[in-house]
Chains A and B, each alone.
Chain A
Amino acid sequence: MGKLIRSAVVMLLLMTVITGVAYPLVVTGVAQVLFPSQANGSLIAKDGKPIGSTLIGQSFDDPKYFWGRPSATAPQPNNAASSSGSNLGPTNPALTDAVKQRIDALHAADPGNTSPVPVDLVTASGSGLDPEISPAAAAYQVGRVAKARGLSESQVQAMVSMATTGRQFGMLGEPRVNVLKLNLALDGR
């Protein structure tokens, strides 16, 4: 038994060195050389300083910006230091209430818009950090943003198209619009 325990201890140490030290260091080394931007958080830099990440959504409720997915993180929405979904069940009245409030907020910001709201714009994302909305959710907001900024709808629509990504390789995932990229472009940054 003593010999077995000695073998087990040494084996655990050796495996820790291989899988817990060497392996992550090799991956870090290669990733930092081959994919430096991705491995460091896909940051958007302005004058050499990071001003956001293309992968991490920020929170918007000003009519002049496109709004992203609702976020259930605490204590503030889109808190990247504490990712989380709402975990509200489908029949929980709190979910229906939250959706109603979000519809009301959208209507208040854009009273003339009577089309039904795309579902992703009124439901919280899984991570609370979803950087993207569906093209339908962007189209729903084009009129409001154009009016708030004194731009024509076609001008805003053109910027939306630039921030839109199709299905990956034409067959994976969903088409989507990156909200932070779009809003930075609208601000001329």
Chain B
Amino acid sequence: MNCEVSQLKELELEHFEMREVLRCILHTIVFHRALGLVRPKDVDMELFDITYVQCGEVELEKKIDEKIEQFVCWVEKHPNKKSQICLSFYEVKNKQASWFSNKVERLYWEQWYINLNVSQHPKAHSVKSHHSKVVNPREGALEDRNVRSAALEASLRDVLFQIIKFVNEKKDHVPPIPNIEGPVSFPYEITIPSSSDSAFGMDMLKRMLQTGHPTMLS
């Protein structure tokens, strides 16, 4: 089975925006892969004028939030680095023997890479010059923030469309819908960079070995 990979457009954001942005993206992806009975839940973002959809499952929400927290911690320890979160979907296959001697093998059939560029310090002054109307500095900063935030909103929207397009174009690799209860039909995992980058790389390598050759897409 093919493992389709989607590299999502990199988002430049500030620290405080990470959580909501990640939540938005992760939930959006999972919603598209939640082929069980779903009662979709609209979520209006607080920071952006965007509505995204959740599956409305508590467990899922919890897991996503957990991972996001871990990721935020990692970012705090590794400031000014580009970072990546990977959301993978897999199937579980029992195998007698495998390279890594686990009896249960994960067959990854889809991976989403969310690319973030978290800036530690808001670039408050970068845009200011364009706005002659600024009356007082506080307002100016606010305006800058708005401009920047609007840009991020647009990018985020792009990413969401990217997800939708991907989902539309690639349907063949999605495993048959298992007959299960609950909206989340396929096992998934969220991988964040671990304490050292190399480990993260190893992880990826391992996964590649397991899944065969992933087709790099987008």
Do chains A and B stick together as partners?
no
